Structure 1
Amino acid sequence: MANGRDLISKKTRTEFREFLVGSTLREIENEFSSAGLVPDRGFDPQLGSQRREFVEQYYHNVDFTNPSDVDKVLRVYEAILGECESNLANPSAYGDPVVLKREYDRLIGCVRRDGYDFVDGKLRPKGDTVAMRHLAATAQQLDAEYLAAQVDRLSEAVEQHPDLAIGQAKELVETCCKTILSELGEPGVDRLELVPLVKRTMAHLHLMPDDVSDAAKGAKTIKAILGNLAMISQGMAELRNLYGTGHGKHASHRQLPVRHARLAVGAATTLASFLFETYADRQCSANSHGPDGA
């Protein structure tokens, strides 16, 4: 199994652990058990603190590259942040609201850096992070180490190096298509440029507009969506030529705005996720019918 990217960073886990040092062991147990988590009592992190070690025993049973496991930890963090907000709204319930506000801001900063927003009591992945989490899970399922590494680099680059992220987004779609076509036994995929590569992948997955029956409900709309989906690759290739880091640039070259990089990366990850999910669905359908098509 490939090692995917941790969906909650070590720094964030440590900050929340340190915050919980101010709680009782029973309170820590209640927070984690309410989220469906159990501690690994056989794990000894040797931190010299019962509370720190107890939190680490819970962490030790979590696969931080697995979205399902991570969602449980996020539920714990939601409860902690929600209680902080409640205490800040009622200062008399907490010893020093200034200290609490500082700790709360630090925790919020950590989850934001990991790609989550705390809204209405819930930690929600930012838009592009949702698709990236799906891709991270896909990389694990396919044992695709190179794909996992690309997701990691793309996640890190989009905010700090938007021009670099454009090129990496294009490469991500290329990897997706080549992986699918290779699994299907299609020869010569390494020689294809991005646009024909995506079109060939969509054709193999029966995702071309002509694959939709005119008699199907909403056929016209579905055909339009599929046509626009194919155009994402054209746009990615053009942006890569204009802003990507793979070509020499004039000294007066202006960097692509971060918001546009997010849009491009979001489109690329959405396309890759959709293609992978369609491929998996086709494989499940084929396997359920057996080799004789029964």
Structure 2
Amino acid sequence: MKKEIPAPVIAVVSQNLPDIETHASLDNLFLYADAPGDPPEGSKPVKVQSWLRIINKECDYPLKVLGKLIETHMELPEQDEQEQILWGHNVTNHKKEFKEKLLSIFKQCNLTYTSGGHLSDGSSAPSKALSELIKGRDIPSIDAEFNRALANVNSEPREAVSAACNILESIFKVYIADEGLSKPQKQDLQNVWKVVRGDLGFDTKLVQDDDLKRVLSGIMSIVDGIGAFRTHASSAHGEGRKVYNLKPRHARLAINSAHTVALFVLETWDERRKK
């Protein structure tokens, strides 16, 4: 089932985008975003609202089109984020105001925007928490895989599964390098995970609480499962005789599971550093 642009988002875009764009620039913007059909007739707000509804009706991935449509408005240059002053008085900064309204309505509708014009409904509580945690870390590979997973959850679930696995692999490799640990001969997910979990003390034999032991055991199974999932069902490898009918819900499961594990590892790492 495709994810349509929610009505509240259509309302915010159609009410605010016309304050920034002309009729001509709106036409160019929608055409750049691969919106179907000719520009609808009517005032600018009517045109935007009608075109967004057409996108919902005729496009396979409406959120993908919307992401491209708002890309320039979400990724404003620094000077466009600043307060505007004319004749000594503050003037409404429509660009900044529009971006803030978009962020607010996306949060309300459980949508997540990532750089490059990607809009996704795949963000869960672990994904949001992980996003905040990796913001302060200068690790481009983790940022790239995080964004790739969320951007492709609906349109390219195989690609999203591959990225979900890669973010774990990237975090584990960074941990091994930063902590000065010996790299395993084979640097696939299972082997780098074995080094990290050993160093962080994720050993069920060392845990006395039976419930926590079950949780740790489950985490180990999740990492193994995600690695196998990438091997058999993602875009990282060619397919054999068996073809997986991968759905967005499967990709979402892999992403949420991977992000939960990634969050736990990073929080444990941070706690150890503080001590």
TM-score, normalization by structure 1: 0.56
In structure 2, the residue matched to 1:36 is: none
In structure 2, the residue matched to 1:154 is: 149
In structure 1, the residue matched to 2:112 is: 114
Checking the alignment, whether the CA contact within 8 Å between 2:83 and 2:93 is kept in structure 1 is no
In structure 1, the residue matched to 2:140 is: 145
Residue identity opposite 1:156 in structure 2: A
- Quick one: structure 1 residues 203 and 58, their matched pair in 2 at CA, closer, same or farther if it must change by over 3 Å? same
- Quick one: structure 1 residues 162 and 144, their matched pair in 2 at CA, closer, same or farther if it must change by over 3 Å? same
SS of 2:180's equivalent? Answer: coil
Structure number with the bigger relative contact order (C-alpha 8 A, sep ≥ 6) is 1
- Quick one: structure 1 residues 191 and 142, their matched pair in 2 at CA, closer, same or farther if it must change by over 3 Å? farther
Q: How many residues align?
A: 198
- Quick one: structure 1 residues 13 and 156, their matched pair in 2 at CA, closer, same or farther if it must change by over 3 Å? farther
1:258 matched to 2:253: no
| Alpha-carbon distance in structure 2 between the residues aligned to 1:19 and 1:248 | 43
| Match of residue 238, structure 1, among 219, 228, 249 | 228
Write out per-residue CA displacement over residues 175-198 of structure 1, whole angstroms, 9 at most, x where no aligned residue: 111112222111325832212322
* Shift, 1:151, TM fit: 0.9
Structure 2 segments unaligned to the other structure (5+ residues)? 1-8, 20-79, 114-119
Checking the alignment, whether the CA contact within 8 Å between 1:128 and 1:269 is kept in structure 2 is no
* Shift, 1:58, TM fit: 5.4
Checking the alignment, whether the CA contact within 8 Å between 1:17 and 1:55 is kept in structure 2 is no
Checking the alignment, whether the CA contact within 8 Å between 2:204 and 2:217 is kept in structure 1 is yes
| Match of residue 13, structure 2, among 7, 12, 15 | 15
| Alpha-carbon distance in structure 2 between the residues aligned to 1:57 and 1:160 | 29
Q: CA RMSD in A?
A: 3.8
| Alpha-carbon distance in structure 1 between the residues aligned to 2:231 and 2:240 | 13
| Match of residue 213, structure 2, among 216, 220, 223 | 223
- Quick one: structure 1 residues 45 and 189, their matched pair in 2 at CA, closer, same or farther if it must change by over 3 Å? farther
| Alpha-carbon distance in structure 1 between the residues aligned to 2:122 and 2:239 | 30
| Alpha-carbon distance in structure 2 between the residues aligned to 1:199 and 1:230 | 9
| Match of residue 130, structure 1, among 100, 114, 125 | 125
SS of 1:133's equivalent? Answer: helix
Percent identity (aligned): 19
TM-score, normalization by structure 2: 0.60
